[in-house]
Amino acid sequence: MMWILQLGCYGSPGSDLLTCSLDALAAAVAGPTIFGLIAGGVLLTSFYLASNGGLATPAVLTALTGGLLISALPSAYQGIAQVIIFLGLAAAVMAGLGKYVDQTP
Amino acid sequence: MRTLYPILVVVALGTATLIWGISGFGDIYGQDDPIEGSNAGDQLRQQADDSAASDNGSFNASARSGTENDNIVGVILSGISFIVSFATMVALLPLELMNLGFPAYFAAPVGLLAQAIVGVGIVQFATNRYYR
């Protein structure tokens, strides 16, 4: 892909480094929302594997990471952080259901 | 075969969608809602409206299937229909994944797999067997 090698955004005066990289990453997939889904899914999966199969700790860590990212990301890309928080919320509900509901085959 | 996990995933996604939509979290930050247009919340709201529990806590006798519960056969039939309608919430999973932003070539096969697993679960429930 040629757009990866377009480094003019990084060199132009007044440009933001994080926005330049996020432009390329969001353009690689269908948009910022699906990039947030992919990033949040990888984050949740890695936290899930690191916690030896529990889902409560990855849910909390994912939601906290999304909450940090809301203030850290540029305003055009806050959807990424919102989707990560949403994934943490869904994982938290899933953890509660798995603990108290899932005792039947 | 433990077939409850796909239903749990769908219920968790739907509950999170409902919490997200009602709380108005996206409105605070001035962004468009990333999960706007998902019909899982509407489906859950519809099921909540159809249930016998009303808003103020009293029992709503005329909610749905008012005459089926008169005898034991009616109770069994309405119970089976409730189980089946609950399991068909999994049919929403491809639409839900697509509304979350996944492309259709990912969401449709995953939803088909979940529907197949839940179909095995319905057969297990109906025949009172446990397939290993």
Q: What digits encode the pLDDT tens for the residues A23-49?
A: 878 888 877 888 888 899 999 999 999
ipTM above 0.90, yes or no: no
A3 φ/ψ angles, rounded to the nearest 5 degrees: -70, -15
Q: For the beta carbon of residue B36, count every other beta carbon within 10 angstroms.
A: 12
pLDDT at B120 > cutoff 70: yes
Check if B120 contacts A (Cβ < 8 Å): no
Contact A102 B4 (CB under 8 A): yes
| Chain A residues within 8 A of B2 when measuring between CB atoms | 102, 105
Contact B124 A105 (CB under 8 A): yes
Contact B34 A83 (CB under 8 A): yes
Rounded Cα distance between A65 and A69, Å, is 6
pLDDT per position as a tens digit, A56-93: 999 999 999 999 998 888 888 888 888 899 899 999 99
Q: For the beta carbon of residue A30, count every other beta carbon within 10 angstroms.
A: 13
Contact A101 B4 (CB under 8 A): yes
Option in A34, A91, A93 nearest B102 (CB) = A34
